[in-house]
Amino acid sequence: MSSVNGSVAVPEPDHGHQHVHDGEHPDGHQQEHAHDGGHNHSHEGGPAHTHAPVTTITLEQSLLAKNDLLAARNRGWLAGRAIQAFNVMSSPGAGKTTLLVRTIEELGERLGITVIEGDQETSLDADRIRSAGRPAVQINTGAGCHLDADMLRRGLEALNPAPGSTLFIENVGNLVCPALFDLGETAKVVIISVTEGDDKPQKYPHMFMAADLVIINKSDLLPYVEFDVDECLRQARQLNPHVEMLAISATNGAGLDSWYDWLIKNTQTPASHAGAQSHPMASESQVQTNA
């Protein structure tokens, strides 16, 4: 069984500060000393205050910049093989895997579907995809709450999808972190279920701002829950005027034709697949990156 260990350890940044130790040092004296960097101190006539270090922001910017570079390389590699890649994101339990299994049953052979699964632990979702008859690779992120571009690169190395095929990347269930990390995908698909409430665009704006398509799943439960489809669409369009939205039920099949039509439309590429290259995923030293 193919699997990729996708855990990434990010060391905590060094942070300088100045502080006073109450009490005595072992040699019996009171001592105040400083470390380079941020500090706290007292001014005459004013309260003590702290100068916060800025290393956290610097680390985040550096991490995202590195991820964006790797995502650009992934995007170039996928484009060179005419592979359409869809980053599928949702809260846990919204129905990502169920929708992918239904899609494989209808379009798996036609679109040459393969799947990279992201979860903190287990290979349960990848097992479901393989049971449906299509290749899948599982990435376990450990404590990580999202996939990143380097994890996708390693997943592509293991999966090696065929030129002209369709790749689904099922991200870790989370409406926060995955929105920030570009993987190099062709499009982002966000799934919410009617059981979650219609206020998700307001609560998680970055996810809906990034989405190319929003799918409202479990529409068969609409008679039993409070969920206003029009209100959800209004909120999403306030954040992202061009986002498309579909209401479906992956369980009973309602609305799936619209999903299949969208998918087929977005897997058609202007260039012929005959020119796509079939070499394996290149290492960083072999990849050319366009500015």
pLDDT in tens, 67-116: 999 999 999 999 999 999 999 999 999 999 999 999 999 999 999 999 99
CA distance 135 to 241: 35
Q: Are 114 and 193 in contact (CB under 8 A)?
A: no
In tens, the pLDDT along 150-161 reads 999 999 999 999
pLDDT of amino acid 148: 97
Report the pLDDT averaged over residues 235-262: 98
**Could you tell me the two tokens for 37?**
């960097």
Q: Retrieve residue 70's tokens.
A: 């790797």
User: pTM of the entire structure?
Assistant: 0.76
Q: What is the pLDDT of residue 59?
A: 62
If DSSP states are collapsed to H, E and C, what string results for the chain? CCEEECCCCCCCCCCCCEEECCCCCCCCCCCEEECCCCCEECCCCCCCEECCCCHHHHHHHHHHHHHHHHHHHHHHHHHHCCCEEEEEEECCCCCHHHHHHHHHHHHHHHHCEEEEEEECCCCHHHHHHHHCCCCEEEEECCCCCCCCHHHHHHHHHHHCCCCCCEEEEECCCCCCHHHHCCCCCCEEEEEEEHHHCCCHHHHCHHHHHHCCEEEEECHHHHHHCCCCHHHHHHHHHHHCCCCEEEECCCCCCCCHHHHHHHHHHHHCCCCCHHHCCCCCCCCHHHCCCCC
User: Rounded distance, CA 60 to CA 67, Å?
Assistant: 11
pLDDT above 70 for 18: no
Kindly report, residue by residue over 37-58, the tens digit of the pLDDT: 445 555 555 555 555 555 666 6
Residue 26 φ then ψ, to 5°: -55, -25
Distance of CA 30 to the CA centre of its chain: 51
Structure-model confidence comparison of residues 115 and 8, the more confident one: 115
Terminal C-alpha separation, the chain: 37
Q: What is the pLDDT of residue 64?
A: 85
Q: Are 62 and 145 in contact (CB under 8 A)?
A: no
Q: What is the residue-averaged pLDDT of the chain?
A: 82
Cβ atoms within 10 Å, residue 195: 15
Rounded mean pLDDT, 5-9: 38
- Whether the per-residue pLDDT at 168 is higher than 80: the answer is yes
Whether 166 shows a pLDDT value over 50: the answer reads yes
Phi, psi dihedrals of residue 104, rounded to the nearest 5°:
-60, -40
Tens-digit pLDDT profile for residues 204-232: 999 999 999 999 999 999 999 999 999 99
